C-alpha cells in the first residue's frame, strides 16, 4: 500500500475510534479508545512509534468523570494566529472564539482554533501544570477534527473530555514537528487526566 493510502487508512481508523467514543460516552468509550490507540501505535505503518517491536502500550491517568465537561462556544472577532511547532516552522490558524467550561468551582476557557485550509477543522490544544513532569512540556491535544479527534457538539455546546487528551506525535518521533498550545491555552491547574509520558521520554520544550 502507498504511504498516502496508509495515511488515509490511519485517519479513517482514528475517526472510527472517536465515532465509537461519541456513541459510548465516558469510561466505556474511553477504554475502547485506549485499546484501539495501542493497536494502531503497535502495528500501523503510520504509527509515530519508531521501535514497534518493543512497544508495550501508551500510559494514561485512570478515567475520571470529573474531567468530562460540556464547554460553551463563545464566538469572537476572528483573527489569524501562527502557532509555533515543536521544531522549526508554524501553522496558521484562525482564532474563531473561545470555549468556556468549569472544572469544580473554577471557570476557565480555551481558544478555539480553526485550521485555515480546505475543509477546515477545529483544533484545541492546551497546556497545564503537569507539563514537563507527567506530560509533554509542549502540551497535549484535546480536539483536532481534521484528524478525526472529535468528541461531538450540540449547537454551541462542545464535549470536552480531558481523559481523551493525547500527546502530539513529536513526543514519540523526531520525524514529526507538531503545533504547540499557544499562551492563551495555558490552564493554571494540573489536568490529571489523559495521556502520560512514556517512562523514558524527555520533557521536551515549553515547560510551564
Per-residue pLDDT tens digits for 99-115: 999 998 999 999 999 99
For β-strands 106-115 and 122-126, DSSP reports them as antiparallel
Q: Which residues contact 3 (CB under 8 A, 6 or more apart)?
A: 45
Grade residue 22 by pLDDT with cuts at 50, 70 and 90.
Answer: very high
pLDDT of residue 88: 80
Query: Can you read off the three cell numbers belonging to residue 52?
Result: 514497534
Tell me how far CA of residue 96 lies from CA of 52, 75, 110, in angstroms: 39, 6, 11
Query: Can you read off the three cell numbers belonging to residue 121?
Result: 477543522
d(C-alpha 113, C-alpha 116), whole Å: 9
Share of the chain above pLDDT 90, in %: 75
pLDDT in tens, 121-148: 999 999 999 999 999 999 999 999 999 9
Residues 45-65 as b or e (16 or more Cβ within 10 Å = b): ebbbbeeeeebeebebbebee
pLDDT of residue 176: 80
- Considering the entire predicted model, what is its pTM? 0.92
Lowest mean pLDDT among 36-40, 53-57, 99-103: 53-57
Amino acid at each position: 500500500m502507498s504511504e498516502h493510502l496508509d495515511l488515509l487508512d490511519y485517519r479513517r481508523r482514528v475517526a472510527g475510534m472517536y465515532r465509537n467514543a461519541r456513541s459510548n460516552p465516558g469510561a466505556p468509550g474511553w477504554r475502547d479508545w485506549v485499546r484501539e490507540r495501542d493497536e494502531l501505535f503497535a502495528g500501523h505503518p503510520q504509527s509515530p512509534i519508531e521501535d514497534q517491536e518493543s512497544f508495550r502500550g501508551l500510559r494514561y491517568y485512570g478515567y475520571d468523570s470529573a474531567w468530562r465537561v460540556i464547554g460553551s462556544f463563545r464566538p469572537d472577532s476572528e483573527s489569524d494566529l501562527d502557532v509555533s511547532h515543536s521544531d522549526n516552522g508554524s501553522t496558521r490558524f484562525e482564532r474563531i472564539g473561545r470555549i468556556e467550561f468549569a472544572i469544580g468551582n473554577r471557570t476557565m476557557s480555551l481558544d478555539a482554533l480553526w485550521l485555515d485550509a480546505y475543509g477546515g477543522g477545529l483544533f484545541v490544544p492546551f497546556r497545564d501544570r503537569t507539563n514537563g513532569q507527567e506530560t509533554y512540556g509542549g502540551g497535549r491535544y484535546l480536539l483536532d477534527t481534521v484528524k478525526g479527534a472529535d468528541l461531538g457538539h450540540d449547537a454551541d455546546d462542545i464535549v470536552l473530555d480531558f481523559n481523551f487528551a493525547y500527546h502530539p506525535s513529536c513526543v514519540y518521533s523526531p520525524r514529526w514537528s507538531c503545533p504547540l498550545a499557544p499562551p492563551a491555552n495555558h490552564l493554571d491547574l494540573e489536568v490529571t487526566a489523559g495521556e502520560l509520558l512514556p517512562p523514558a521520554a524527555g520533557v521536551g520544550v515549553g515547560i510551564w
